[in-house]
Structure 1
Amino acid sequence: MIRDEELEDIDLLTEDIPVEAGGDGQLYEHFRMEVDKGQVPVRIDKYISEHQPHSSRNRVQKAAEAGFIQVNGSPVKSNYKVRAGDVITLMLDRPHYDTTIEPEDIPLDVVYEDDDLMVINKPAGMVVHPGCGNFSGTLVNAIAWHLKDLESYDPNDPEVGLVHRIDKDTSGLLVVAKTPDAKTSLGKQFFNKTTHRSYNALVWGNFVEEKGRIEGNIGRDPKDRLRMEVFPPDSEIGKPAVTHYKVMERYGYTTLVECVLETGRTHQIRAHMKHIGHPLFADERYGGTDILRGERTASYKAYIQNCFKLCPRQVLHAKTLGFVHPTTGQQMDFTSEWPEDMTTLIDKWRSYVRVKS
């Protein structure tokens, strides 16, 4: 799966590990394995990463650090050496959920559809894929319902379905593959960076320049596991990420920008913009719900609070999407209009500027 701008907690061996267990302190078994007879001693992080699909040694190490990896009923560190007959369990701080995707009758805004694919305009507030705390009502549940009469489409088959993702509170365009061949073709295009994607975002502050390029690795913020941090490109921390931006409109204390992604990292635009001092407007996780620019007057503060009420989410919209059709070879380009909350907010800022000028 080519990830876009989403942070989901689907499985703690396929995603990053929380720093510590939460809830009531009770742990629940998520998987169990017994070490084969004749197994020579080997570090447990190496053993699990080799025997569990989609896991990585780094993620196993984080699970062990959090106390979630147990051997014969006791937590162990990642350097523990497994031996024949050891029983390894992953114990998490929440019950194990059935992640089978069931069709749900949820309306979809389908922009385009044919036998190979469909392009969807996702509303803000909709989770893309089931994960911790969101096991129904997601976009993939809605897609499963929309395609329930298509015998060849299995929503639980990773060889079909969503090719990329966007955050829950980001609106805009996504492409879905109906066939394995389409998924392979589209996936390669995303991997090879031959797709065309642009986002519109309202950010805090004014820019000196009209356009720019942001380069910096994206990785987990060690102080907040639900947020991403930007690290130097040569730091070997996180994954390389590049965002290009261009000023569309200036409102004095905020700016409407177009962002074009070279890469598709988790929270890339949100993290990169905060990194250069321009957090997305109303983006609570990255500090965008603070009044970062403007006047100290009560009327201005009231104005900003009204803005937050109009669009109570990060102001980010996946505006355009372009790719080569996997069957016809034709270039396909799509554009989506801003949702009502974003349109209303931008109009309010335009009016603010007119009154001030």
Structure 2
Amino acid sequence: MTRLQDQHSTERIHTFNVIPEEEGKRLDRLLADRFPDISRERWKRAIEEGDVKTSKKKVASSYRPALGETITCRLPELKESSQPVPESIELCVLYEDEWLAAIDKPAGMVVHPAHGHASGTLVNAILHRYGKKLAADRDPVRPGIVHRLDRDTSGVMIVVFDDAVRRAMQRLFRQHEVERVYDAIVWGDFTAPRAVIELPIARSGVNRKKMVVREDGKPAITGVEKIDGNGQISHLQCKLVTGRTHQIRVHLSHIGHPVIGDPLYGGCRGAGKWPSQLLHASRLSFIHPVTKEMISFESPLAERFKPYLDEIDMSHQNHT
């Protein structure tokens, strides 16, 4: 049987479990996203040649693994130049112990290296700070990473230093035992004081970078509470019940309240320069997988929110 190999590399085997962000993806796309140095076409060949195994006896490129499903794949050794390298990038560390850390990720920072983002990522930064302490769990492209934030979303992220803790944290995310609270400023007057948005989400068949609300999509639930507003824009607090790709952005856009500054989902209205999308992971809470204590990490709203919050406050003053 032909194996993935080339004249400059040696083979290695990776085993991993499907995380929430990967659920619902085709197997070939999932692998190409997880291992960005290997093309999707090459993964298709590898799957056809039997170099990718799941808990199912037989899989095709179109197979969509379930959340938590184990995948074993044979792939070439990454070239040295394509391995993530430590970079001296300033990090805001909210908390750290011997098992994990909470990082306040800035907007504009990609979580891990991928095509077009080989450096300047959170992984490059945490490699510099923590080095080999990070849990790799046979995934050197994303050491220490157990969940993600979109590039232009700021706020709390967890990184882990122990492979057992990594697996435990993935299980907490998978079982919806991590409370994730986000602040968003959106267009329009969100009139309900509280709401639950329960709409299924799938990848767009037109724009593969975009997610859409669709009947055949994965179940997705977002809790929303209105904090303030001025009739033109609204400050919302959103709680993820599920964790689909772009979930908050998709849900709010679908009901007519796109996140301000979000170019993908209608948040950039009119001419002018927009800030990074006004979406911020403000709080993350869970039971520590080792100490078994409830822990909660909070990140203050990023500076880019201030002009919009001031605008809301000013409108209240003008009406008094």
TM-score strictly above 0.5: yes
Which residue number corresponds to residue 103 of structure 1? 86
Residues 158, 97 of structure 1: alpha-carbon distance in 2 compared, 3 angstrom cutoff: closer
Q: Say if 2:43 is the partner of 1:2.
A: no
Gaps of 5+ in 2: 1-17, 23-27, 65-78
Contact map agreement 1:101 1:155 (CA 8 A) in 2 = no
Cα distance in structure 2, aligned partners of 1:59 and 1:331: 40
Contact map agreement 1:119 1:176 (CA 8 A) in 2 = yes
Contact map agreement 1:198 1:318 (CA 8 A) in 2 = yes
Which residue number corresponds to residue 262 of structure 2? 283
Which residue number corresponds to residue 31 of structure 2? 14
Max radius of gyration: which structure?
Answer: 1
* 1:139-154 equivalences in 2 (<5 Å): 139-148=122-131, 151-153=132-134
Which residue number corresponds to residue 20 of structure 1? none
- How many percent of aligned residue pairs carry the same amino acid? 36
* 1:48-63 equivalences in 2 (<5 Å): 48=48, 50-52=50-52, 57=60, 59=62
Gaps of 5+ in 1: 6-10, 17-27, 34-43, 62-95, 292-300
Which residue number corresponds to residue 73 of structure 1? none
* 1:186-265 equivalences in 2 (<5 Å): 186-232=169-215, 237-265=216-244
SS at match of 2:208: strand
SS at match of 1:286: coil
SS at match of 1:162: coil
Cα distance in structure 2, aligned partners of 1:332 and 1:114: 12
Cα distance in structure 2, aligned partners of 1:107 and 1:166: 18
Structural RMSD (CA): 3.2
Residues 155, 345 of structure 1: alpha-carbon distance in 2 compared, 3 angstrom cutoff: farther
Contact map agreement 1:45 1:60 (CA 8 A) in 2 = no
TM-score (ref. length: structure 1): 0.69
Contact map agreement 1:126 1:169 (CA 8 A) in 2 = yes
Contact map agreement 2:282 2:301 (CA 8 A) in 1 = yes
Cα distance in structure 1, aligned partners of 2:102 and 2:53: 30
Q: Deviation string for 1:317-347 (max 9, x for gaps)?
A: 0000001111111110111101111123321
**How far does residue 157 in structure 1 lie from its aligned partner after superposition?**
3.7
Residues 219, 98 of structure 1: alpha-carbon distance in 2 compared, 3 angstrom cutoff: farther
Tell me the number of residue pairs that the alignment of Structure 1 and Structure 2 aligns. Answer: 276
Cα distance in structure 2, aligned partners of 1:32 and 1:288: 36
1:256 aligned partner, one-letter code: H
Q: Deviation string for 1:73-122 (max 9, x for gaps)?
A: xxxxxxxxxxxxxxxxxxxxxxx995411111111110000100000000
**How far does residue 30 in structure 1 lie from its aligned partner after superposition?**
7.3
SS at match of 1:146: helix
Contact map agreement 1:140 1:155 (CA 8 A) in 2 = no
